Structure 1
Amino acid sequence: MADTRNKNPLKILESVGKELITGVLDDLVGKNVLKLEEEEKKKIYDAKLEDKARVLVDSMRQKRHEAGQIFVQTFLNIEKNSTSIKAPEEIVTGPDESAETTDTLKPCPHEEFLKLCKERAEEIYPIKEIKSRTRLALIICNTEFDHLPLRNGAAHDIMGMKGLLEGLGYSVDVEEKLTARDMESVLCRFAAREEHKSSDSTFLVFMSHGILDGICGTMHSDEKPDVLPYDTIFRIFNNRNCLSLKDKPKVIIVQACRGANRGELWVSDSPAALADSSSQSPENLEEDAIYKTHVEKDFIAFCSSTPHNVSWRDITKGSLFITQLITCFQKYSWRCHLEEVFRKVQKSFEKPNVKAQMPTIERLSMTRYFYLFPGN
């Protein structure tokens, strides 16, 4: 075999490229995927190497759409790391980094995990050993209602969030078709689970219709409200009622409308702006002082929209918020703490598209950074 080490690399590439493309063209003609006449086939077979592509193009001018689809599919079907022609050693390459998918959870390298745990030990929530921890997560999703519209596309949200949380090491319970009273009962049972004692965190995901102060049960109507108040969720999992999760991150994800406003407006370049005159007064300050620990601590709630505004859902793909949330967890949770991941979700909604909404972080009482360290 002739030594190719001193040959011009560009000439080698040109030769390999011509042979590869010619092989594909011959294969297309041989299998008659373009359904050419016999006379047209003969012209292509008899053509010189450099003329084959031109002759084939002339033959398929009347079938441009079909030809385009066939060419794309043919090249996609070629195995990524092999062809029918052996390339010289000098130009054989490794895996294509650009082929990395973005629809899977990127793991955190173990070295990075150990480094962060050591360097930021006082700043981050401790992570229990993967072999002994028993992480639990709960998804509550209402799709069908007695008096409210069907939430088409919600099945995609359930599947996506369940897959994400399982990838992060949580055993996931999914509950559907619940009234407000049923939701409260499910939450109380979940909070009492023994596994929380050997866990380091939990996720609570709520997907339903909603109003400003809570999540709608399946029997909700204007005349007879059926609503689980947000305060009830925090009460069930606070340090008074759920000691097993004391000092551990409790992450609440809410995909629900919080009003009927669309969350968008037209603005001018005028510097004039409306000031929010609302003030916040501390609640339960006296009562909290009685206890040795804060009643409500280590929570973070991430809601799909700001108060009084709607959230949007694609009936074929699922909620815009849940879709972006999953994507950002997959791409960034290996190196970003939870609040950073949430901010990246917010960033993706920064410029209002056809439908506007702005996810919001609320009732944040976490005193450390929560890293999920996928794979660790």
Structure 2
Amino acid sequence: MDPRHRKILQSNRSNLVQELDPSKLYDGLLSRGIFTQDIIDEIQIAGTRRRQARELVINLEMRGSRAFPAFLECLRETGQEQVVQLLQNGDSPGPPVPLPVRPTPLPVPIKKTKDGDKPDKCDFTPQPGQTVQLDPLPSPYTEKDISPRPRPRRDSIQNYKMEASPCGLCLIINNVDFEPGCELSNRKGSDIDCDRLERRFKSLNFDVIVKRNLKRKHIQQELSGLSKKDHSNYDCCVVIILSHGTEASHSRFPGAVHGVDGPSVPVQNITNYLNGQHCPSLQGKPKLFFIQACGGGERDTGFEVSPDEFTPSAGGVDDQTDALPVSSSSDSLSFSDEVDARATLPTSSDILVSYSTFPGYVSWRDTQTGSWYVETLDRILEENASTRDLVSMLTMVNSDVSQISAKGLYKQMPGSFNFLRKLFYFQTLPQ
């Protein structure tokens, strides 16, 4: 799409969400080849008219040069002339129409009804009729807990600066089809995760790069290339890896992810590419890693609790010395003539690694709807990114995923290693 047209859509998104009737546009956009039926289906399952309108506009921004003119034609054909006039005002749409103040929706249970759930590194085939059921456990978050509250956008002691546009690069590595000799099954359903996260991080104003079916050496090459880019004009960097995983020896971050050829890359090596030592243009900026992969081969059967006794765990990772990385400032000081002549930060500072599962355990993925972790993460970001900091949202993800059961038996517990120095808020575009 022409950047000017994309800017018009983005600057008018609040008004479009309020005024647009997306249901009248689907046939026209489909017949003109702007959207496929799969895209329309994805938009329609967003729910309310307003949510469908927002998803339609976000998807429209990703289409080609014909998308904007075709969109205007469809609006005229369906009698939405007021919206046409709004868009034809160009880059100066006038004062936005105020949206009604509404509380952030409470997290809701994820209904798992498909029979294709399987762990990311186990040859598990569910029997016909098996379903994924939710334990009848209430969410620990009340409406008061998650109500929106104002927050500063500039860099401060409390918050990272997130004002660049785009705010950063987001690399997604999606390993689906594994080579026969590596004895790892294909990851059916991972493309759903990938598409979902690509849309989400584009809506959070990231430039998204998607790579599919990478061997170990190619994973390393992509990360190396990312570390060598100039991030001076960005405020953040995100890496998302969807693959099979395993346990690995480590001194900082546990686990490893497999290339489609079989060999794995340790998570701590993945984070090292972007740390303050190896990627100078990201020094002091948040570096976020999301790992959808098994942490090992063990299956968690959980333990029984009564609903009124359930409280979310304050931890999420085992208490080991390698959970607290020790970094030396000697490398930084070597550039100085005097010990106190240069301000330094720990090498592993400003890094957060979010894991789909507890180290050592399998991570579950529905072959029809995608993984539990990614589906929940996407929903929590959609509902809360404009008002909540990242760590708070990941705690909500942990809580919701922990209440899902595979075959009424197996559980999953996400967690994160957090070495951020400040609160992190995503840069959300107008809704």
**Structure 2 match to 1:185:** 221
Residue type of the partner of 2:292?
Answer: Q
- SS of equivalent residue, structure 1 residue 358: coil
Residues 286-365 of structure 1 mapped to structure 2, 5 A cutoff: 286-287=328-329, 291=333, 292-354=344-406, 355-362=410-417, 364-365=418-419
Residue type of the partner of 2:284?
Answer: D
Residue type of the partner of 1:367?
Answer: R
Structure 1 distance, partners of 2:380, 2:353, is 16
Displacement of 1:121 in angstroms is 3.5
Residues 158-187 of structure 1 deviation map (CA, whole Å, 9 limit, x = unaligned): 110100010000111111111111101110
CA gap of 1:294–1:102, structure 2 versus 1, over 3 A, is farther
**Structure 1 match to 2:338:** none
**Structure 2 match to 1:8:** none
**Structure 1 match to 2:136:** none
Residue type of the partner of 1:162?
Answer: E
**Structure 1 match to 2:140:** none
Of residues 269, 272, 280, the one that matches 2:321 is: 280
Is 1:205 the counterpart of 2:240 in the alignment?
Answer: yes
Is 1:252 the counterpart of 2:304 in the alignment?
Answer: no
**Structure 2 match to 1:138:** 171
Displacement of 1:115 in angstroms is 5.3
Residues 314-372 of structure 1 deviation map (CA, whole Å, 9 limit, x = unaligned): 1111111111110000000010011111111111123242341111111x110100111
Q: Which of the two has greater helix per residue?
A: 1
- Asked whether the equivalents of residues 288 and 295 of structure 1 are also in contact (C-alpha less than 8 Å), the reply is no
Residues 84-141 of structure 1 deviation map (CA, whole Å, 9 limit, x = unaligned): xxxxxxxxxxxxx976539968x9x99x9995227984300012243xx452110001
Residue type of the partner of 1:372?
Answer: F
Identity, % of aligned positions: 21
- SS of equivalent residue, structure 1 residue 219: coil
- Asked whether the equivalents of residues 215 and 259 of structure 2 are also in contact (C-alpha less than 8 Å), the reply is yes
Structure 2 distance, partners of 1:305, 1:288, is 34
Displacement of 1:191 in angstroms is 1.5
CA gap of 1:297–1:119, structure 2 versus 1, over 3 A, is closer
**Structure 2 match to 1:214:** 256
Structure 2 distance, partners of 1:238, 1:335, is 28
- SS of equivalent residue, structure 1 residue 117: coil
Structure 2 distance, partners of 1:284, 1:262, is 31
Residues 194-244 of structure 1 deviation map (CA, whole Å, 9 limit, x = unaligned): 2x1100001100000000220011121xxxxx0111111121111110011
* Structure whose alpha-carbon radius of gyration is higher: 1
Structure 1 distance, partners of 2:257, 2:199, is 23
List gaps (5 residues or longer) in structure 2.
1-22, 25-46, 59-97, 102-147, 248-254, 307-316, 334-343
Displacement of 1:277 in angstroms is 9.3
CA gap of 1:288–1:340, structure 2 versus 1, over 3 A, is farther
- Asked whether the equivalents of residues 329 and 345 of structure 2 are also in contact (C-alpha less than 8 Å), the reply is no
CA gap of 1:125–1:283, structure 2 versus 1, over 3 A, is closer
Residues 267-311 of structure 1 deviation map (CA, whole Å, 9 limit, x = unaligned): 589xxxxxx996416654555686422111101111100011001
- Asked whether the equivalents of residues 288 and 294 of structure 1 are also in contact (C-alpha less than 8 Å), the reply is no
TM-score (norm 1): 0.63
**Structure 2 match to 1:149:** 185
Residues 40-55 of structure 1 mapped to structure 2, 5 A cutoff: none
Residue type of the partner of 1:200?
Answer: D
Is 1:374 the counterpart of 2:410 in the alignment?
Answer: no
Structure 1 distance, partners of 2:228, 2:53, is 34
- Asked whether the equivalents of residues 206 and 253 of structure 1 are also in contact (C-alpha less than 8 Å), the reply is yes
Residue type of the partner of 1:361?
Answer: S
Structure 2 distance, partners of 1:104, 1:351, is 29
- SS of equivalent residue, structure 1 residue 203: strand
- Asked whether the equivalents of residues 209 and 215 of structure 1 are also in contact (C-alpha less than 8 Å), the reply is yes
Structure 2 distance, partners of 1:114, 1:346, is 22
Superposed CA RMSD: 3.5
- Asked whether the equivalents of residues 385 and 425 of structure 2 are also in contact (C-alpha less than 8 Å), the reply is yes
CA gap of 1:228–1:122, structure 2 versus 1, over 3 A, is same
List gaps (5 residues or longer) in structure 1.
1-76, 79-96, 221-225, 270-275
CA gap of 1:286–1:167, structure 2 versus 1, over 3 A, is closer
- SS of equivalent residue, structure 2 residue 192: helix
Structure 2 distance, partners of 1:351, 1:294, is 36
Of residues 216, 223, 235, the one that matches 2:272 is: 235
